[in-house]
Structure 1
Amino acid sequence: MASRTTVDPGIGGSRGISVGNVFGRSANVIKDNPLATLGTSFALIALPQLLLGQIGLSAAVFDNIRAGSYALAGLYGIVVGLLWLIASGALVQATVAHDEGRPANPREMLRVGVSRCLPLFAVYMLFTLGISAGMMFLVVPGIMLAVMWSVSLPAIVAERPGVFGAFGRSRALTKGARWHVFGILLLAFVIYLLVSMAVGVASVAGYGSLGALTGGGQVRMPIPTQPSLVFQLLQSIVSTVVLTWFTTVGASLFIELRDWKEGPDADRLADIFA
């Protein structure tokens, strides 16, 4: 899809970028399409890990790492990462569909997620390498690049401008609103981190390893015991909700920035036929 022409934000609309706009849009995407969004995330991310845990693969990965072998862990990471990229692309497509005023279609979401998986991987790797390099120079350049490129992943799915074009599109959309973008992303990350920590603490308790972690003042690697399936399922559901919300926040930020710069689709059509 050809990228849109970026215009002065004053032309696109008077509504500014705010936490309420972005978080509200993200919540509405999930609320209006719970099965398509949460169901897709659960099926692609939580359920495979849950099933692999039940057949003992998670424990096998843990044992291999303890033995100094990382081949199985690497394969496991590739599979999980691939499914995460597909789910991310699917959730961006759900957000785009919501912006267009239509319900998210799981089949369409999966088709887009699979077709955009490799470009997403390329953008993600370049994004990670660029931020890491920036962080080496007193942190600030890394943060600046992270904000500037913050919507490159949604852009590669929603508009298909090419791998390098996605970074240029993100840079253009965030220009003039980067402090707002930084604040929104920081708040979203803090919320995500706090909830993830809570889930992690619950997971440690569920595995019964708190005593091994703190007992005797010695640092030891605990041998996990299998928690109940009900506990694992609840943990997976919470993780699915958090990850889905965080991903749709990024996609919603892209939509909000695009509407702010260029006006909503309805406004652009009205200008054309005026």
Structure 2
Amino acid sequence: MRLAKVISNTVSFMGRNLILSLVVGALFFVFPLVLVDLWTYWYWPRVAYLAGAHGNSPWAIAANLGSALGSGLLGLAANFVGHAVLSRATIDDINGNQPSIGCCTRTALHHLLPVLGISFAIYLVLSFMQYVRLGAGLLFPPHGGGVVFILLIVPTFIWAMGISVAVPVAIRERLGSIASMSRSRALTMGYRWPIFGLFSIALGLIFLMRVALVFGIRFAASAIPSASAFIIGTIPGAIVSAIVWTVASIAMTTAYVELRRVKEGTSVDELAEIFS
């Protein structure tokens, strides 16, 4: 597997399908995150107050935890549907066809249950990691949370690299969520360092864009009152998330195609045959 080829194919796809990438990014990555942030930080505090879900009562803890988990899961589910749309589009493009948003969206919805299953599994792992870190921080202050985070981040990252092409597998090979993750682990076995390189590039991209974009726009929004400032302050983070999700979705699909070619000798025509 050649990392340079994966990166080149990713850049080429975005160059040929810029409008599609922007539309999918806005619909499935920007819009859901803005809605989740508005609910979490603007509307839910008011709803919680009216419902009496404030303070340290069991009801307040359960309601706030349910709101956080539910909104986070819905946002992630929308992101993974966008990932599935871009996976179909990328395979079409590599095969020399012009992808369409409507056709790619129908394919993603047709495979909705496996895609949502993969997103739910990832959400469970990330939530477990987060709450274990918080619990360790409360039980063993002041550095318990940081130590637990360091201990958990390595196996979590290895697991994430193993299932990184699970969504393209579900879209292309019509497998369920568990079978897709198992198939992804088999495909990525022996090639996880190049995939680690892709993850590293994505993390570097996140850092650079947050420094260049988020702080500047939020500073400008500080002069605007009330909900308008909150919305304007939320949009930069949503844009950064959309760019990262878009690039990562395309890159993981091109990595899947490259892994199939390297490990199984599968041609591009064979990969796209299911969509013909």
Which structure exhibits the higher relative contact order, with contacts defined as CA atoms closer than 8 Å and separated by 6 or more residues?
1
Spell out the pairing of 1:30-109 with structure 2 (5 A cutoff).
30-47=14-31, 59-61=42-44, 63=46, 68=54, 70=64, 76-109=71-104
Q: From the superposition, tell whether residues 234 and 200 of structure 1 become closer, same or farther in structure 2 (CA, over 3 Å).
A: closer
The code of the aligned residue for 1:126 comes to A
**RMSD of aligned residue pairs (Cα, Å):** 3.8
- Structure 1 vs Structure 2: percent identity of aligned residues? 22
Name the counterpart of 2:137. Answer: none
Report the CA distance between 1:115 and its aligned residue. Answer: 2.3
Name the counterpart of 2:119. Answer: 124
Name the counterpart of 1:181. Answer: 195
Q: Distance in 2 between matches of 1:51 and 1:145?
A: 29
Contiguous gaps of at least 5 residues in structure 1: 1-15, 210-222, 270-274
Name the counterpart of 2:141. Answer: none
Name the counterpart of 1:242. Answer: 244
Aligned length: 239
Name the counterpart of 1:212. Answer: none
Q: Distance in 2 between matches of 1:117 and 1:224?
A: 37
Report the CA distance between 1:92 and its aligned residue. Answer: 0.9
1:17 and 2:2 matched: yes
Of the three residues 226, 237, 254, the one matched with 2:256 is 254
Of the three residues 172, 175, 178, the one matched with 1:164 is 178
Report the CA distance between 1:203 and its aligned residue. Answer: 4.7
Name the counterpart of 1:151. Answer: 165
Name the counterpart of 1:220. Answer: none
Name the counterpart of 1:226. Answer: 228
TM-score, normalising length from structure 2? 0.69
Q: From the superposition, tell whether residues 262 and 63 of structure 1 become closer, same or farther in structure 2 (CA, over 3 Å).
A: same
Report the CA distance between 1:237 and its aligned residue. Answer: 5.1
Q: Distance in 2 between matches of 1:163 and 1:51?
A: 27
Contiguous gaps of at least 5 residues in structure 2: 55-62, 130-148, 272-276
Q: SS at the partner of 1:227?
A: helix
Q: From the superposition, tell whether residues 231 and 72 of structure 1 become closer, same or farther in structure 2 (CA, over 3 Å).
A: closer
The answer to whether the Cα contact below 8 Å between 2:165 and 2:256 also exists between their aligned partners in 1 is yes
Q: From the superposition, tell whether residues 246 and 197 of structure 1 become closer, same or farther in structure 2 (CA, over 3 Å).
A: farther
The code of the aligned residue for 2:7 comes to F
Report the CA distance between 1:91 and its aligned residue. Answer: 0.9
Q: From the superposition, tell whether residues 164 and 240 of structure 1 become closer, same or farther in structure 2 (CA, over 3 Å).
A: closer
The answer to whether the Cα contact below 8 Å between 2:202 and 2:244 also exists between their aligned partners in 1 is no
Report the CA distance between 1:249 and its aligned residue. Answer: 1.6
Q: Distance in 1 between matches of 2:264 and 2:168?
A: 17
Q: Distance in 1 between matches of 2:212 and 2:151?
A: 32
The code of the aligned residue for 1:29 comes to F
